[in-house]
Amino acid sequence: MHKKPKAPLPFKKGDWVLVLGTREKGVVENVMDNGERLWVRIPSMTDWPWPRWVHIPYSKAKRVRPPKPPKIEVDTTEALL
């Protein structure tokens, strides 16, 4: 009796995903039920300091690239005075 090898889970902790229902990007914080459900942290895009958390089935998520970090602009002319 041969057992089928388990397929790798489609998502893992730390992956960035697009939530297809809301078109929001977030980070997978936990994979539950053998990869069937995801616990996703969606960063706040407003002045509210805390993220939102959602449970979604893995079929409602699509892996995306992580966002680029914001470019920090430094004004060196003031430092020279």
% of the chain at pLDDT higher than 90: 54
Instruction: Give me the pLDDT at residue 35, please.
Output: 84
Mean pLDDT of 68-73: 82
| Cβ–Cβ < 8 Å for 61, 38 | yes
Mean pLDDT of 53-65: 94
DSSP the chain: -PPPPPPPPS--TT-EEEETTTTEEEEEEEEEGGGTEEEEEE--SSS--S-EEEEEEGGGEEE-PPPPPPPPP--HHHHT-
- Residue pLDDT, tens place only, 8-21: 678 999 999 999 99
Instruction: Give me the pLDDT at residue 67, please.
Output: 86
